[in-house]
Structure 1
């Protein structure tokens, strides 16, 4: 890794705060160093090859720049496409920006930019750019960041599609990196300022290397392996366990005195299909035989994974995302529940307690600041604990944005579980700069970063008011260069964390460690809220502070649209609608347009009708009342072909809503 000259590094530490901010800002757009360029202007395929038996040829039928491009035809599977060997080009620990221009020869689809790597002959796959709509009528740019974090003997980048095998044109392929900046060593460590509870970060293999590792150990007390402990990583095939992703992270944590949160033993996503396949080779159903087999597989999985790490993991998210507030009983209709009912939860916690008696065992979920969801979660935990199921705590994910939720809603989230006498942890916190799926900023706007700083300030102030209840806060990522929000809910660059893409402290960082150093608000419009000042010198005092007022919503409602699962030809979606007005509703209907021709085939939590692109969903008999400040949600299954664009506008009872 390259570093700036020592004199400049010293200046970054020694100069006043205002100057540090200016230096970091100026460094956001340095000249990148290009390590790879493919423009297909020489009449060859320039080193590209197919992943199978595809045909690759130089083409002059289309060109993004110049007169030539690469055409890949003869594809017989969606994962087949043009690929390029970058083993000798990419260096471990360096963050590369990879850019590819893509255009189909015919039709439309979603394209992805991916990486295949092999270690010891075992293949693994990383997604650089997620599903992006691409057609035959225009060139589309796929751009993403990739850091190789392990030693490999095989490394190729490639383009694949989601549902069809149409020929693909490629042009103007580049890879570049920006020389790393040294981390700022002269600023307070987050873990030294926040002493009421440990503060952690979710990590991948990239976060334990070079400057990333330095930033991690300087500021955080604990880590969560983001994907390395999930079922698809640890038991991809039955009774064959693989710890190659997680072991290096656990070893690093142990060597640097970092506690580890284990995430997660049971989830409805990232679980291999074989888990839910019966002995007859068919998908499991709610029979006694299938239930017994599923619970036996669950028992075996937990015994192996939890035992492998023993006392090195002191906290486990045993089960993840089991609540669906659109259901009348609040329980997610996952394969786990459909086959085994609540017994999968009982089994998971009891086996985890037996195998890891030292560990704290958690049930973890998102949107627990939504009243209906937290109430269902509370009822479930209360029931299971009354049965003797060993649940030690509730995890609140806290994936939020600069406008939502309110501090009052977050406080109610914590207060709800206090009577249960269990621990509470913030497990996956990030603060998106986006407030609607239709937004896409080339660079983070200053006003959004400022609002984000105030959100972090107020949320950490709230958490610090509960030192006996909140026992840990974990950010879902280390820095803005590696965040899941870059590809979810849509592909765009987000900036949800405390440190920017060059690992420099943002205003959000100062919101946590010393709010007096947040930049002055550019807006004269402020609203007053009471919060605990998280300044090191006054960490337990209460003060009144001002923060910018969020923009007024479009109407007295707010909608969140989420794709919760996707497969060839179909997807599962979820819509949450909040009544942000002052008048309670006794019935409701939500309307939007599916511009990609998607067709709903099944819906729960409401009733629906669809005419062409127009969709209308009305309340079910049991959820028609929507009080002021309340929310509800519904889910659906839908078909799609070609593209699956998210709706950009929703209405509630005819009134336009804000889209979160």
Structure 2
């Protein structure tokens, strides 16, 4: 999985009551941040800001977030064009900066984010600092995120971009600051020394192999998974042009520090460049013999190059990722891979991976495998393919969960299901969100949520140890809370899903894994209910496009129960008028008949309290235009469109 621009993923989070926020998250009190950048535009100048292209930037007093001045940006001809500031020499390698900017549109609305462009030897790369955040002309909106420069560069610029529109915008009160790093704790036991039944690892980016992060990684963990650096868009961005600039430093670091390596991932429906699914005629591929032959040839060529590049350095590969969709009658995701080739892309991927990497263990990896329908479809698929001789060595369970969901019984059923197949099982992307629904947003993680999280880690690791004969590794999807994909998915907010906090200090969750006796009092669990859908007395819908690219887009729909009674389940309907098609949806199950889309809740998010909200996200395709739906219903009742 997973980090944006990674786009579709594990489940949205189960609904539960909001807890009272009373305590801060950190294991240590944060000192006053040291500010390295301030742009307040109060001196009548642009303070060094320029456009990324031919757009115009100018000081203005027409609107301001603070004081009387701001920066006006106009003449944008592309969504990625916007105000830009040179931060080369300001941001130091290995330091984690908190970057903040206030943004508003001059008219209309869009989704905006903070990004960084960096260049080394003239080769450009792009990093996202803040997740996409809805902005409009009605009010100033804060974009904020954390950024660590992990490589040597000769060019570094901070900029603001939008998702789809090119209208004028304003920025103000831009700051960047950092809190001096704390030493890595050396008076606590190493995770890898306590958990000896199987190796425990983490997903990494370049930020995790430098300075204190590298020290924490080496002290506690036995294996690593490059989170995004081995995916198709990173390794073969254009046909037959392979690059390993992102992955090579991570692999070299792992080898130098005796860390085992999991390769993630050779085949996935996301983060795959558009050219892969473009036929020889320049058109999107369809289920023709010619397109099938071409697509399988591209797949084989990709695997032969990428897997061969690393040879025996990588001992485990996630060969195919997220191929199950339990909403389909046969349980198979209707990705372009499947539409064009059926199951042959899976057969080809495993066959070629075995030929190129005969030493490696080959896995099929998926999320929500604790959900019975998904678990059963995955079991059936693996059983069928292995009976055909497809060399599947193991099943990967991502285990993106939260403090209320799933139960230990559901997780045990997930593991027990695959025991009769006699294959390996691995926990591949584990994290435990402190949030239980999409409407929650904590300034600092509440003490009761951190306590619940510690008990979840305790109970899950106890379960994994009971199945030590089946589980051959456990990987956490991140090293510490300062760098987690959950900060931007399913919505932008600070999460705290891992064992170490934002200053790399051990949390209660760490003690849940290493010494549960150190955890304080356990809170009471809560369980959402489900029943037959009933019409809400009133509802409101917020529909937005959160990212857009040629031929495709990402969106989400937020349902707010504005009535006095809770919903115990829901069915959401809208109609696309521009020929858009949903290709993948998370947070529920969907059907589409021509333009009409119907989405039903998942078993874990059907309960929506009065005043509460729940969201679904999706990936779609479009041509020509992408108009927003004009009307929505929930359980047959017409909703207000926000």
Query: TM-score w.r.t. structure 1 length?
Result: 0.82
Which residue in 2 is equivalent to 1:126? Answer: 127
1:71 aligns with 2:51: no
Distance 1:504 1:518 in 2: 15
Deviations 1:340-370 (A, max 9, x none): 1111111100000000000000000000000
SS of 1:347 mapped into structure 2: helix
1:41–1:66 Cα contact (<8 Å) kept: yes
1:549 to 524, 529, 537: 524
Distance 2:461 2:512 in 1: 9
Distance 1:285 1:398 in 2: 33
Relative to 1, partners in 2 of residues 1:599 and 1:436: Cα closer, same or farther, differing over 3 Å?
A: farther
Distance 1:268 1:113 in 2: 26
Which residue in 2 is equivalent to 1:160? Answer: 161
Which residue in 2 is equivalent to 1:401? Answer: 402
Relative to 1, partners in 2 of residues 1:618 and 1:113: Cα closer, same or farther, differing over 3 Å?
A: closer
SS of 1:318 mapped into structure 2: strand
2:277–2:284 Cα contact (<8 Å) kept: yes
SS of 1:316 mapped into structure 2: strand
Relative to 1, partners in 2 of residues 1:634 and 1:69: Cα closer, same or farther, differing over 3 Å?
A: closer
Which residue in 1 is equivalent to 2:497? Answer: 496
Deviation at residue 551 of structure 1 after TM alignment:
3.3
Residues 417-496 of structure 1 correspond to what in structure 2 (within 5 A)?
A: 417-496=418-497
1:86–1:155 Cα contact (<8 Å) kept: yes
Deviation at residue 397 of structure 1 after TM alignment:
0.1
Distance 1:225 1:325 in 2: 28
Deviation at residue 285 of structure 1 after TM alignment:
1.1
Relative to 1, partners in 2 of residues 1:156 and 1:637: Cα closer, same or farther, differing over 3 Å?
A: closer
Distance 1:565 1:101 in 2: 18
Residues 292-441 of structure 1 correspond to what in structure 2 (within 5 A)?
A: 292-441=293-442
Deviation at residue 608 of structure 1 after TM alignment:
7.3
Deviations 1:607-647 (A, max 9, x none): 679999xx86579xxx9xx9xxxxxx997859897999xx9
CA-atom RMSD, angstroms? 3.3
Which residue in 2 is equivalent to 1:190? Answer: 191
Runs of 4+ in 1 over 6 A off after TM superposition: 561-565, 596-600, 608-612, 633-636, 638-644, 650-654
Query: TM-score w.r.t. structure 2 length?
Result: 0.84
Distance 1:24 1:408 in 2: 29
Relative to 1, partners in 2 of residues 1:398 and 1:26: Cα closer, same or farther, differing over 3 Å?
A: closer
Deviations 1:154-178 (A, max 9, x none): 1111000011011010100100000
Distance 1:369 1:288 in 2: 36
Deviations 1:81-133 (A, max 9, x none): 00001011000000000000001111111101111111111111111112100
Deviations 1:379-425 (A, max 9, x none): 11111101111000000000000000000000000001001110000
Which residue in 2 is equivalent to 1:542? Answer: none
Relative to 1, partners in 2 of residues 1:331 and 1:23: Cα closer, same or farther, differing over 3 Å?
A: closer
Relative to 1, partners in 2 of residues 1:390 and 1:121: Cα closer, same or farther, differing over 3 Å?
A: same
Relative to 1, partners in 2 of residues 1:652 and 1:400: Cα closer, same or farther, differing over 3 Å?
A: farther
Please, which moves more after superposition, 599-608 or 198-207? 599-608
Which residue in 2 is equivalent to 1:15? Answer: none
SS of 2:492 mapped into structure 1: coil
Residues 607-622 of structure 1 correspond to what in structure 2 (within 5 A)?
A: 617=599
Deviation at residue 232 of structure 1 after TM alignment:
0.6
User: Can you give the 5+ residue segments of structure 2 that lack an aligned partner in the other structure?
Assistant: 1-22, 534-541, 560-567, 584-588, 607-615, 638-642
2:424–2:472 Cα contact (<8 Å) kept: yes
1:567 to 537, 541, 548: 548
1:601–1:636 Cα contact (<8 Å) kept: no
Deviation at residue 550 of structure 1 after TM alignment:
2.3
1:591 aligns with 2:566: no
Deviation at residue 553 of structure 1 after TM alignment:
3.0
SS of 1:165 mapped into structure 2: coil
Deviation at residue 283 of structure 1 after TM alignment:
1.1
User: Can you give the 5+ residue segments of structure 1 that lack an aligned partner in the other structure?
Assistant: 1-21, 522-547, 578-587, 627-632, 655-660
Deviations 1:249-307 (A, max 9, x none): 11111111100000000100001111111111111111111111111111111111111
Which residue in 2 is equivalent to 1:206? Answer: 207
Which residue in 1 is equivalent to 2:176? Answer: 175
Relative to 1, partners in 2 of residues 1:173 and 1:589: Cα closer, same or farther, differing over 3 Å?
A: closer
Distance 1:638 1:338 in 2: 14
Distance 2:405 2:455 in 1: 12
Deviation at residue 24 of structure 1 after TM alignment:
9.2
Distance 2:57 2:556 in 1: 40
SS of 1:129 mapped into structure 2: coil
Please, which moves more after superposition, 304-313 or 28-37? 28-37
1:207–1:213 Cα contact (<8 Å) kept: yes
Deviation at residue 27 of structure 1 after TM alignment:
3.1
1:280 aligns with 2:261: no
Distance 2:177 2:591 in 1: 50
Distance 1:426 1:391 in 2: 16
Which residue in 2 is equivalent to 1:44? Answer: 45
Relative to 1, partners in 2 of residues 1:590 and 1:167: Cα closer, same or farther, differing over 3 Å?
A: same
1:489–1:563 Cα contact (<8 Å) kept: no
1:268 aligns with 2:265: no
1:590–1:616 Cα contact (<8 Å) kept: no
Deviation at residue 549 of structure 1 after TM alignment:
2.3
